[in-house]
Chain A
Amino acid sequence: MGIYVIKMPDIGEGIAEVELAAWNVKVGDMVVEDQPLADVMTDKATVEIPSPVAGKVIALGGKAGDVMQVGTELIRLEVAGEGNLKEGAAAPAPAAPPEPKPVPAAPPKPAATELPPPPPQKSALVGRHIPTPAPARQPGEKPLASPAVRRYAWDRGIDLRFVQGSGPAGRILREDIDAYIAGRQGAATPAPQRARIDWEETIPVIGLRRKIAQKMREAKQHIPHFAYVEEIDMTDCEALRQQLNANYAESRGKLTLLPFLIRAIVLAVREFPQVNARFDDEADVVTRYGAVHLGIATQTEGGLMVPVLRHAEALDFWQMAAEIARLADAARTGKATREELTGSTITLTSLGALGGIVSTPVINWPEVAIVGVNRMVERPVIKNGQIVPRQMMNLSSSFDHRVVDGMDAARFIQRVRGYLEAPASLLVE
């Protein structure tokens, strides 16, 4: 017969002490391998400590509610054969003396009938393989590790002096470094170790992406952009849209906000023809257009495309909506024709719900203006001395400062705002 001491295991969360929640056994009980001995609680969860061996409980190392250090004696079992406690070794006194227990009057029943049923499933719990700490290096002794392991440690910012080696002669192995990292991360956050990801990928810029890159570079190289952001109260416009959808969605189709924005631009550029234009900077000629061919920035699988809503001034809301849907579909399926992708005179860009609060759109060169639509959101607004909820939305626009003056650009956007905030005017020709 030997004595087997089970210590409070490190339950793998990098914590030094745990609360003993409950005992599942008492002194005198016979336990089988894997039988839960105790429940311990960390700040995360309650876990069971199973018995690594079969034997008879002869002492408990604490009582429920005690906070115990990892590594202190949890329970002492009497086992068949040799235990893990050497004869004559100074046996640490259990933290709490075993509760006085009357000697059972009846002689112990045969073990076979006494043994409780084995637990229904093997607990995946720790504690079965309690790592025995390698003998510590003497202070000042150099850590021992192969060149590969040294590099492995350096590359992870680990000072080998703090790592205990588990190899022969205390040699630090790669696994020791991993264990050290895991332990250190566990101390900070019990989350699983995050692996570093070092791959790189080279992506040739070809096809549509190259086109986009060229266009963007040309725009930024040629055009001194300036940005202008204005806040629009879209409450009435939104009410109109919903009213129209309520009445006509079935017969004419649903409307998004885009046709309203486009209509506002169509009307505003009549007063500010300098923004509905293309600038041939080599010939030093600005061409203004009566027609509004409106580019609509569209995300496709291959990248950004700008199909053109031709003669937007000649379309009503539903015609616009239908044409926009058709163009977007053509662009996304790669069926857009050259005509459908060129010739715009001004561009609208909208990311819808992703619109953010401000953007700085890049002008669709050689145009001179682009209107960016930001997210519409209900915000408190002071109106007539009252705080009222309003549907607010920003327009972020960029202009070619060579040919569009700031004052004109501001006035243009203010006109757009005027139309959108008094949406009935959108219906006036």
Chain B
Amino acid sequence: MLTESTTLLILGGGPGGYVAAIRAAQLGIATVLIEGESLGGTCLNVGCIPSKALIHVADEFDKTRHFAANSPLGISVQSPVIDIAKTVQWKDGVVAKLTSGVALLLKKAGARVIKGFARIVDGKTVEVKPADGGDPWRIHCEHLLLATGSVATALPNLPFGGNVISSTEALSPATLPKRLVVVGAGYIGLELGIVYRKLGVEVAIVEAQPRLLPAYDEELTKPVAASLRQLGIEAHTGCTVRGLNAAGNAVRIRNLAGEERELPADRVLVAVGRKPRTEGWGLETLGLTMNGNAVQIDSQCRTSMRNVWAIGDLTGEPMLAHRAMAQGEMVAELIAGKRREFVPAAIPAVCYTDPEIVVVGLSPHEAEAAGLDIIHAHFPFAANGRSLTLESSSGFVRVVARRDNHLILGWQAVGRGVAELAAAFAQSLEMGACLEDVAHTIHAHPTLGEAVQETALRALGQAIHV
């Protein structure tokens, strides 16, 4: 069997793995990255990027339909049609551009990429089966970085197959169904449900919890719930899924009162979450300490085995590409001998629903639960000039700060286009900004960002525009 040696061996070429590889190679560490499928992982191939591409298409399509129906903007068009095959082709082009870009960056940095499937032999040895079917070989390494990501969780009574699909299939539809039932009203289910609805599909969403986006506070989710009603998406909250009906053309659900009903569906998207990809590559041979179904790590992404590191979704929530990237970069620097620790003030999270939601840091409820004496304030987009010119006056920005020294603890926003505010929010938290820092920074007019400044002013009791 062919053998070779390297300093750092990375399993998985997703956002965590490829960033770690680039940074490590930049730092002069001999690095080998093993990826069985496409570089970029879930994020680039079947997650963030393709979903945002489809959201863009759906928004554009929805806009033209809006114009076709006597728009107050004075624009009128013929009613639009969509060629979903072409849409998917375009989306695939965007994905291909990004994944080939990643390959180029890796090459430029000097990291070696092996297309193949890895199987752990021990903490320092991995056996690779090349994707092209060649002979397997062994790679010895000083450091092993596990970055295998996550997989969609299946429901036992609604296994994937046939018309029951995961987000991966939902992002590459050959045709559009007439009726789609989405199981799970988390951000993935809502994002895709809204896309399909905007493309003309009848959509029903089923959620076991009593409200949509149960991971977010209710005030933030209200504008989204209102938007769903306006779009004509049925939301069945507090309902559990019993499975498909006998004919396989409807989903049986049961509400809290125990009443069952059937939701007709010619396609069912199960989006009930993701779980760490811990199976099928020999992880169990290491006997690492686990944290539930995730690999347990410390604040330097060390596992319970020396020089075996883990990052990203494999290590559990929050399963976010930007978290994995930051972890990957840090691990590379640690291996290069630098002193680092993964202690972000906050990891921003964005929901690309319509309207968008962004949360960074603590919500008022979380801060109070942590025993902090806080002040909080919100500023509605209805009072923001830029929002009105964009026909999107729903939503608000909210800030949470300590009462004693006005240190900002968290930002939340809901509204069209607020995802981009994540940068300002995260930076203010990382810089340890106080309300005054934001309130007394001149924000450009007219922008959505003015709402951020006004929120801080309002928390200080100095708001101008409300």
**Chain A interface residues toward B at CB < 8 A:** 142, 144-147, 150-151, 154-155, 157, 167-171
Contacts and interface: CB of A to CB of B under 8 A. Distances in A.
Contacts of A157: 339
A146 B430 contact: yes
A168 to B, nearest CB: 5
B257 interface: no
A169 B432 CA distance: 8
A25 to B, nearest CB: 40
Given A147-B430, A150-B343, A168 B338 contact: no
- State the majority secondary structure of interface residues on B: loop
Given A146-B432, A147-B430, A171-B432, A155 B338 contact: yes
A152 to B, nearest CB: 11
B437 interface: yes
Interface in B383-417: 402, 405-407
B169 interface: no
25 contacts: A142-B343, A144-B407, A145-B432, A146-B431, A146-B432, A147-B430, A147-B431, A151-B340, A154-B340, A154-B341, A155-B338, A155-B339, A157-B339, A167-B432, A168-B405, A168-B407, A168-B432, A168-B434, A169-B402, A169-B405, A169-B406, A169-B407, A169-B432, A170-B405, A171-B432
Closest CB pairs A-B (n = 8) = A169-B407, A169-B405, A171-B432, A154-B339, A144-B432, A146-B431, A168-B434, A147-B430
B436 interface: yes
Contacts of B407: 144, 168-169
Contacts of A168: 405-407, 432, 434, 436-437
Contacts of B339: 154-155, 157
A169 B430 contact: no
Nearest to A157: B339
Contacts of B406: 168-169
Contacts of A142: 343
Interface in B430-466: 430-432, 434, 436-437
A150 B339 CA distance: 10
A151 B333 CA distance: 12
Contacts, number: 35
B341 A169 contact: no
Contacts of A146: 430-432
From B338, B430, B431, residue with most partner A Cβ within 10 Å: B431
Nearest to B406: A169
A235 B428 CA distance: 80
Interface string B319-345: 000000000000000000011110100
Contacts of A145: 432
Contacts of A167: 432
Given A168-B406, A169-B407, 20 more contacts: A142-B343, A144-B407, A144-B432, A145-B432, A146-B431, A147-B430, A147-B431, A154-B338, A154-B339, A154-B341, A155-B338, A157-B339, A168-B405, A168-B407, A168-B432, A168-B437, A169-B402, A169-B405, A169-B406, A170-B405
Contacts of A154: 338-341
Contacts of B434: 168-169
Nearest to A153: B339
A165 to B, nearest CB: 8
A168 B339 CA distance: 26
Nearest to A167: B432
B333 to A, nearest CB: 10
A170 B407 CA distance: 9
A155 to B, nearest CB: 7
A51 B359 CA distance: 53
B422 to A, nearest CB: 16
B149 to A, nearest CB: 26
Contacts of B338: 154-155
A168 B405 CA distance: 8
Nearest to A154: B339
Contacts of A169: 402, 405-407, 432, 434
A188 to B, nearest CB: 20
B406 to A, nearest CB: 7
Nearest to A150: B343
From B338, B339, B341, residue with most partner A Cβ within 10 Å: B339
A96 B338 CA distance: 53
From B340, B341, B405, B432, residue with most partner A Cβ within 10 Å: B432
A169 B402 CA distance: 9
A151 B344 CA distance: 12
B34 to A, nearest CB: 30
Nearest to B405: A169
